[in-house]
Structure 1
Amino acid sequence: MRLAFPGLSVLPSPLAASPHRPQVLSCVNPDNANSPEVPVKILNCDTITQVKEKILDAIFKNVPCSHRPKAADMDLEWRQGSGARMILQDEDITTKIENDWKRLNTLAHYQVPDGSVVALVSKQVTAYNAVNNSTVSRTSASKYENMIRYTGSPDSLRSRTPMITPDLESGVKMWHLVKNHEHGDQKEGDRGSKMVSEIYLTRLLATKGTLQKFVDDLFETIFSTAHRGSALPLAIKYMFDFLDEQADKHGIHDPHVRHTWKSNCLPLRFWVNMIKNPQFVFDIHKNSITDACLSVVAQTFMDSCSTSEHRLGKDSPSNKLLYAKDIPSYKNWVERYYSDIGKMPAISDQDMNAYLAEQSRMHMNEFNTMSALSEIFSYVGKYSEEILGPLDHDDQCGKQKLAYKLEQVMTLMSLDS
């Protein structure tokens, strides 16, 4: 499952304002060197780790994330003509250092041309790695730079490369495309900053257009009783009716309060968590770019569930402005969803109990029920008085003697502990 489009982001990125060139590398399949090479789209400004991750995504796209090799456990090997091979790394003795800034190596740094053949090989111990991430001086780098390039097996590299004693430097900061201070020092009215913001905005709008159908489909599926692909779970209808009953019982007739209760119980408690953390459901890796993009979608989802009016101005963040025109439509979907559920036939206690029993049977071996019960009991123990009181005074709970049964459970648990 792909959660982000290559080269696209719903948040501003330094890449939008920096020169870059797309390339295609031919990667040897690490599982079968005799199989056809796999073409992988990358950017020449990608760090070596980013390239490794894109290669793994391309080669193992149909393999669950937990079963894939980790980029940190692999080295990227550039295979050139005449059997020459070169290990590429984020940091090595060729890394450029200016004052206290060290720039991560990219494909452009190594001058890897379009169409090059690369391979992922098992992690190797090089002279640079062996010094425990210390920094090598420029003199040492110049002296040993030619030793990064080699021919033959990886063992020949290890046997011929001497240990390098680095010149230790303190306070070295890493950077890739943009140094951290380059954003922080820009003033609000700076012309250069404004130009970059305009570039970001164009990119953001283009990316939003690409993602729009997927976001619309997601929201429509969640906030629909008909276009779901499956029937609405009985538990949702039962819970919403319970909230309406409680509102009537306590004389709460403000529709905004009822709307907020329902939003807090389901969309904001469950769906927002799923949107922001798809790795809870799917065996995938969520990188920082994907996380940032999903946060924008999740924020839009939360705004759609709100009953308050959203006031936006020139100083509002770009991710808020992106979906400003869509949120009124999304809000209508949420209101229609709650209304449609309210019109559905009520669910009896017997039907609800049968539904829960069936769900328990279907998922009997998928969850640790004892752990869940232990978590619930810790909550009950903390708020026993607040729970037992209402159970004693509620007619329905009284008929089932729930307060008495709960006290028995608490007594048994206290004896076991």
Structure 2
Amino acid sequence: MSERMNERLEELECEIRSEIRQGFVDLQTENSDLIQNVGAIPFLDYKHFALKIFFPEGGPLANMMIKDISQVAVKIEVDEKCQVFSALIRDQTFLTCFVHALEEQKNFSIKDKCVVASLLTVALHGDLPYLTQLMEDLLQNLMDQPSNAQPKLLLRRTESIVEKLLTNWMSICLYGFLRESVGQPLFLLVSALTQQISKGPVDAVTEKALYTLNEDWLLWQAQDFNFSPLKLNVLFAVGTEGEVSESLEVNALTCDTIEQVKEKILQTFQRKFGFPYTQQQREIDIEYEKGGRYTPLEEVDGSSEVQGEVTMLNTLKHYQVPDGASIKVMTKKLHAPLSPQTSVKDDQNFSTKYFHLIDPDIDKDESNHPERKKLKLKEIYLTKLLSTKVAVHSFVENLFRSIWGMPNNKAPSAVKYFFDFLDAQAEKKKVTDPDVVHIWKTNSLPLRFWINILKNPNFVFSDLEKTPHLDACLSVIAQAFMDSFSLTDQQLGKHAPTNKLLYAKDIPQYKQEVKMYYKLVKDQLSVSSQEFKTFLQDESKKHESEFNESAALRELYKYMDRYFSEITEKLNQRDASSKLKEEMNRVKELFDDMKKSSWT
């Protein structure tokens, strides 16, 4: 017994030595051969970008906000009613009372606040100078509230209408800068991350990968990392007579499942030609050509390995596909009767019925053959996080510096204007601690706008799938970005989270660059009120026909109707003119008449 144990211990020691050495080799030989250039970047147009920022949850409400050119007569009549309400919300006394009255209600949730802020943004998009004036007024009120006795906490969260309004305002004003200066570095980073993840094994069931930035998504449980890279010559079926296109070279791994191979084929096609293949992944089949005969490659078929009640997904290794093999892509054949399930991933029990690289836990198998389960230590594979960081590091730095860089030594006018506004408020309130103003600026711009963009590139680009794994990697980068704006020095030990340790050596340099950025913005020549007003008017005019302001007004009216007495009371407290209250009653009468006419 002791002899067998000694043999097993020696075997384990040998395996661990080998894996640690391989990790060291990978780290020292990692070369960043990732994509350096792309074709046309698939930017979303302005209105769809704006809607994703305003209404991130999407749904029917967001869809209503896009203007429909073919409006029927009934809609035009409703829009005429909205004109009176539109004039009313352009009275700042009314609108500030409206906002404060709503926010004082206990049943007015944070979600309601965000919705109202975005409805106001759409309704007033045609008059951005007024929206800016409203935002400044509400921000000053927020700063004056007794609950904000801790000025460093200001704007940290989105707990008021004006905080969401600020997010929307930044998005409107910085869209041009985002497209011109930050869009390409962001797209290249996302592309590089996706490629780096797919360079190594990715478990098709859990989506964990050997190459990742996030420890939670690290593939360390796989029993066998014995994989090899393959170059496949991919041919696309064209026409109906069996003709094929010229071959496309695609990089794959022996451990890739058939669906992963399809995904890599389509990604390579888009990278090479700059546009997607005519069919989607679930619409194609692939075949392996050997000796003039084609073998269909399926994710699961009669030859699939089964352990207990769990089926292993087929891989290129399973089909013994060699390096340089020819693979043919064709339209999926539809079998009768038609099944809505076109992929095994559509199975509700996919994660329990199938496995890929991580063996299923089969108690019977483990108890009878404990030696089959190799000892796996996650810590051995932590070097893979560093390998991934090294591979994408230049892309991360390019992105960060495109954000806090100063093209032509000039920050975007909205950044300069708003930072000057915060400096003026600090002076007005006799805030002498420079850290407070630094935190205000950080909570307004990087935290409120850039983090949203870094974590949601699908808000900026079309046809970009943000998988949970990509999301986790972007969160690590976003954390490093925010740490660069922090004024506190972090004390990191061996028990610190790996996402903090990964960028620990880079953060001090980034912090210096951020401080210099804030200083350069402050020293920059101020933007005159008239100059900035012209910029805002131009932005309004540029997008004047893109949003359905009437739809936003109709939705806003629902809140006015719900809290009518509370808004009236707030107007009375402010000694609002009787004319203003009459206008409010007139709006209510017009909308009530509209309801009655729709019932008859």
Per the normalisation by structure 1, the TM-score is 0.73
Counterparts in 2 of 1:100-119, with a 5 A limit?
100-119=309-328
User: CA contact under 8 A between 1:9 and 1:207: conserved in structure 2?
Assistant: yes
Q: What do residues 376-396 of structure 1 show as CA deviations (whole Å, max 9, x unaligned)?
A: 77788899869x88x979xxx
Question: C-alpha distance in 1, partners of 2:487/2:408?
Answer: 24
Aligned to 2:534: 354
Aligned to 1:19: 226
User: CA contact under 8 A between 1:221 and 1:227: conserved in structure 2?
Assistant: no
User: CA contact under 8 A between 1:47 and 1:105: conserved in structure 2?
Assistant: yes
Question: How has the CA–CA distance of structure 1 residues 134 and 87 changed in structure 2, closer, same or farther, with 3 Å as cutoff?
Answer: closer
Question: C-alpha distance in 2, partners of 1:255/1:234?
Answer: 22
1:39 to 249, 273, 276: 249
How far has the Cα of 1:111 moved from its partner?
1.4
User: CA contact under 8 A between 1:23 and 1:41: conserved in structure 2?
Assistant: yes
- Find out whether 1:206 has 2:409 as its counterpart: no
**Corresponding residue SS for 2:317:** helix
Question: C-alpha distance in 2, partners of 1:358/1:316?
Answer: 49
Question: C-alpha distance in 1, partners of 2:461/2:525?
Answer: 34
Letter in 1 for 2:522: G
User: CA contact under 8 A between 2:304 and 2:311: conserved in structure 1?
Assistant: yes
Question: How has the CA–CA distance of structure 1 residues 307 and 351 changed in structure 2, closer, same or farther, with 3 Å as cutoff?
Answer: same
1:218 to 383, 393, 399: 399
How far has the Cα of 1:114 moved from its partner?
1.4
Aligned to 1:138: none
Question: C-alpha distance in 2, partners of 1:310/1:363?
Answer: 44
How far has the Cα of 1:255 moved from its partner?
2.4
- Find out whether 1:81 has 2:287 as its counterpart: no
How high is the sequence identity, in percent, across the aligned residues? 36
Aligned to 1:416: 591
Question: C-alpha distance in 1, partners of 2:412/2:557?
Answer: 26
Please give the root-mean-square deviation of Cα atoms over the aligned residues, in Å: 4.1
Aligned to 2:432: 253
Letter in 1 for 2:420: D
Question: C-alpha distance in 2, partners of 1:335/1:318?
Answer: 26
Q: What do residues 248-290 of structure 1 show as CA deviations (whole Å, max 9, x unaligned)?
A: 2333333232222212221112111211221221223334443
Question: C-alpha distance in 1, partners of 2:229/2:283?
Answer: 26
The structure whose RCO (Cα within 8 Å, separation 6+) is larger is 2
Letter in 2 for 1:416: F
Counterparts in 2 of 1:75-154, with a 5 A limit?
75-82=285-292, 84-125=293-334
How far has the Cα of 1:63 moved from its partner?
4.2
- Find out whether 1:60 has 2:60 as its counterpart: no
Letter in 2 for 1:71: Q
How far has the Cα of 1:299 moved from its partner?
1.5
How far has the Cα of 1:27 moved from its partner?
0.8
User: CA contact under 8 A between 2:561 and 2:588: conserved in structure 1?
Assistant: no
Question: C-alpha distance in 1, partners of 2:497/2:388?
Answer: 16
How far has the Cα of 1:134 moved from its partner?
12
1:275 to 451, 454, 460: 454
Question: C-alpha distance in 1, partners of 2:274/2:580?
Answer: 48
Q: What do residues 51-71 of structure 1 show as CA deviations (whole Å, max 9, x unaligned)?
A: 101000111224456x75321
**Corresponding residue SS for 1:222:** helix
**Corresponding residue SS for 2:294:** strand
Aligned to 2:179: none
Question: C-alpha distance in 2, partners of 1:410/1:57?
Answer: 58
Counterparts in 2 of 1:319-358, with a 5 A limit?
319-358=499-538
Question: C-alpha distance in 2, partners of 1:86/1:25?
Answer: 15
Aligned to 1:71: 281
Q: What do residues 278-326 of structure 1 show as CA deviations (whole Å, max 9, x unaligned)?
A: 1221223334443332222111112222223323221222222110111
Letter in 2 for 1:347: V
How far has the Cα of 1:359 moved from its partner?
1.5
2:417 to 233, 238, 245: 238
Q: What do residues 313-367 of structure 1 show as CA deviations (whole Å, max 9, x unaligned)?
A: 2122222211011111112222222221112222232222111011222333455
- Find out whether 1:299 has 2:508 as its counterpart: no
Question: How has the CA–CA distance of structure 1 residues 123 and 236 changed in structure 2, closer, same or farther, with 3 Å as cutoff?
Answer: same
**Corresponding residue SS for 1:76:** strand
Aligned to 1:265: 444
Aligned to 2:379: 197
Question: How has the CA–CA distance of structure 1 residues 205 and 89 changed in structure 2, closer, same or farther, with 3 Å as cutoff?
Answer: same
Question: C-alpha distance in 1, partners of 2:528/2:582?
Answer: 27
Long gaps (5+) in structure 2? 1-37, 39-190, 200-210, 363-373, 593-600
Q: What do residues 4-31 of structure 1 show as CA deviations (whole Å, max 9, x unaligned)?
A: 2341532353279712110011111355
User: CA contact under 8 A between 1:92 and 1:128: conserved in structure 2?
Assistant: no
Letter in 1 for 2:423: D
Letter in 2 for 1:266: L
**Corresponding residue SS for 2:230:** strand
Question: How has the CA–CA distance of structure 1 residues 85 and 331 changed in structure 2, closer, same or farther, with 3 Å as cutoff?
Answer: same
Question: C-alpha distance in 2, partners of 1:197/1:344?
Answer: 48
**Corresponding residue SS for 1:86:** strand
Task: Figure out how many residues of one structure are paired with residues of the other and give that number.
Answer: 362
How far has the Cα of 1:120 moved from its partner?
2.2
Question: C-alpha distance in 1, partners of 2:561/2:518?
Answer: 34
Aligned to 1:9: 212
Question: How has the CA–CA distance of structure 1 residues 131 and 351 changed in structure 2, closer, same or farther, with 3 Å as cutoff?
Answer: closer
Question: How has the CA–CA distance of structure 1 residues 413 and 73 changed in structure 2, closer, same or farther, with 3 Å as cutoff?
Answer: farther
User: CA contact under 8 A between 1:100 and 1:172: conserved in structure 2?
Assistant: no
Long gaps (5+) in structure 1? 136-168, 183-190
User: CA contact under 8 A between 2:235 and 2:327: conserved in structure 1?
Assistant: yes
Question: How has the CA–CA distance of structure 1 residues 242 and 53 changed in structure 2, closer, same or farther, with 3 Å as cutoff?
Answer: same
